[in-house]
A and B are shown apart, each in its own frame.
Chain A
Amino acid sequence: MTVPVASAAELARQHAMGTTPPGKTVEQAFARAAEVDAGPSGLNAMLWHDRDAALGAAAEVVELARQGNRPGPLAGVPVVVKDNIATLTMPTTCGSRILEGYVSPFEATVVTRLRTAGAIIIGKTNMDEFAMGSSTENSAYGPARNPLDPTRVPGGSSGGSAACVAAGIVRVALGSETGGSVRQPAAFCGIVGVKPTYGRVSRYGLVAFASSLDQVGVFGRTVEDAAIGLGVIAGRDRYDSTSADVAVDDYVATASESLHGVVIGRPREYFPDSLDARIRERCDAALEKLRELGATVRHVSLPHTDLAIPTYYIIAPAEASSNLARFDGVRYGVRAKATALREMYADTRSHGFGREVTRRILLGTYVLSAGYYDAYYRKAQEVRALIASDFQNVFDRGVDVLFTPTAPTPAFPIGAKADPYEMYLSDIFTATANLAGIPALSLPIGRVDGLPVGGQVMGRHFAEAALFRVAFAIERALGEAAHR
């Protein structure tokens, strides 16, 4: 089994020059999906695909080039997107029974931007139902598997997208982040994943889970693949009023910049005594490389980090309980047979939602209910402000980026985490960035027991370029050691 080596940039260049037909690349992607068994009998990473539409899109790329149009940065490059991102020719089910058969009448802005850049959307990927999970085990379509060890999870909730990149089917994929759902699967699968600043990328067409936390994120096999993908989808969108009118940097251009003058913070709360010593060692080895490249490493403190999981698991379910109220059998997906309206709502939702989604809707409804709102929801929003101010304080003191482990463990076996809160702790190092709205990126920095370990780079609002600058440097400095 050989993983295709051409990068997204190289594929786009070959397609633009006409040395490789995009249709051939698309066929290779489908052949690779068959080779690794990306469907339900294997990795269960891809839920839907549309070969005819993909080949049609590849022919359009050729035709546009023939007409003299400038090829986009992803010309003819196959891409997969998470199943909670609206597409026109394939279902958008969010990995849920309640949206079975639902095909969106509109397209997500990120998908439109990918297609405008020449990308070919070849499939939709498996995910934890409504993005609620950290392992892609909570899917109505069954768990996805990690291509590096199919007995283990690929991480979640965007595990299907991560698995498709790690398995060599595509170089670029879209996921979504609410508490770490791109970075953690990227770490578990040994690839790159970036969560942009809140407002950096349009959420139009991303099915809402927790609207103050959600962002579309990008997976890449390499830092460059992810940088190109984010550059394509970033920027203001008139259909999402929370998308920001802030100029989009050339993230790929940061690859050539030195690290002299860059101050990197090592927050002590992300390296607790309980952290696996081998993960700590991989992180410190990466930091040492950054020091050798001219960066200054400074020990810093983010004192409210241990409050992130309780805070996140109040705010996110609260918002989810509101957002998911729309799925009641009237406007979307399946409808239970019933003779009374309230009975129809309850039956549709009870049979349509899986166990984790039901649990979070109940939890969210409880913390918003009379008598508990102030104690839980309001308190969590106040603590969220403290967590955000932790980051602001270190950035105000001259720290450019922070470097931490992405997850406290490597990929765990399927079925290993039965206790809900134990699963929630998988997000312990990632949820903080979502709560603060800052950008963060995970990239491979080595292996433990043969399983990938991710290092996380976090930065100021809209400072994605600084993240990529450091990530390119780590990737270059570690070389093959990042995958050993």
Chain B
Amino acid sequence: MSVTENEVRHVAVLARLGLDADQIPTIAAELNGILAHMEILSRVDTSAVGAVTGIGAAGTPLRVDGGNQIPLVRPREAFAPAMRDGFLLVPRLATHEDQDAESP
């Protein structure tokens, strides 16, 4: 398998990365160079094993779905841009440089 320039563009969209047009051929070549070393895996017989889903005897434990457990040392107000009625106010995207226009 080899990565085409179109696939690089597609993957960049999925990854939300903006790439300049002149970067695409270089990145495609780099990815192909790396993936060529991965081809060895296709020749390994793994029919007798399952994929790893967790490391160690405990597998992958789940945490209790009990709400926010994060102990913040400062209240949210201390690092939020602004607060109103317990909600974070963030700048509008198109006008985020303009403090006067940030109210929803």
Contacts and interface: CB of A to CB of B under 8 A. Distances in A.
A379 interface: yes
A387 to B, nearest CB: 9
A379 B40 CA distance: 11
A306 B43 CA distance: 13
Interface stretch (A29-37, A234-242, A447-455): A234-242
Given A241-B61, A362-B8, A386-B46, A88 B18 contact: no
A366 B5 CA distance: 12
Contact of A382 (B12, B50, B60): B50
Q: How large is the interface on A (under 10, 10 to 19, 20 to 34, 35 or more residues)?
A: 35 or more
A152 B63 CA distance: 43
- Majority DSSP secondary structure for residues of B touching A: loop
Contacts of A337: 96-97
Given A325-B16, A382-B51, A107 B73 contact: yes
A375 interface: yes
Contact of B69 (A239, A310, A366, A382): A239
B21 interface: no
Contacts of B7: 366
A137 to B, nearest CB: 16
Contacts of A242: 58, 60-61
Interface string A356-384: 00110111011001001001101111111
- Majority DSSP secondary structure for residues of A touching B: helix
B58 to A, nearest CB: 6
B96 A335 contact: yes
Contact of B1 (A88, A372, A378, A461): A372
Given A309-B37, A328-B16, A385 B11 contact: no
B33 to A, nearest CB: 6
Interface of A: 88, 105-107, 197-199, 212, 238-239, 241-242, 244, 304, 306-307, 309-311, 313-314, 321, 325, 328, 330, 335, 337-347, 349-350, 353, 358-359, 361-363, 365-366, 369, 372, 375-376, 378-386, 388-389, 419-421, 424, 436-437, 461
25 contacts: A88-B73, A105-B78, A106-B71, A198-B55, A241-B61, A244-B58, A307-B41, A311-B41, A313-B38, A344-B93, A346-B16, A346-B17, A350-B19, A358-B17, A359-B27, A359-B31, A362-B11, A366-B7, A369-B11, A376-B38, A378-B51, A382-B44, A382-B50, A382-B51, A383-B41
Interface of B: 1, 3, 7-8, 10-12, 14-19, 27, 30-31, 33-35, 37-38, 40-42, 44, 46, 49-58, 60-63, 69-74, 78-79, 90, 93-94, 96-97
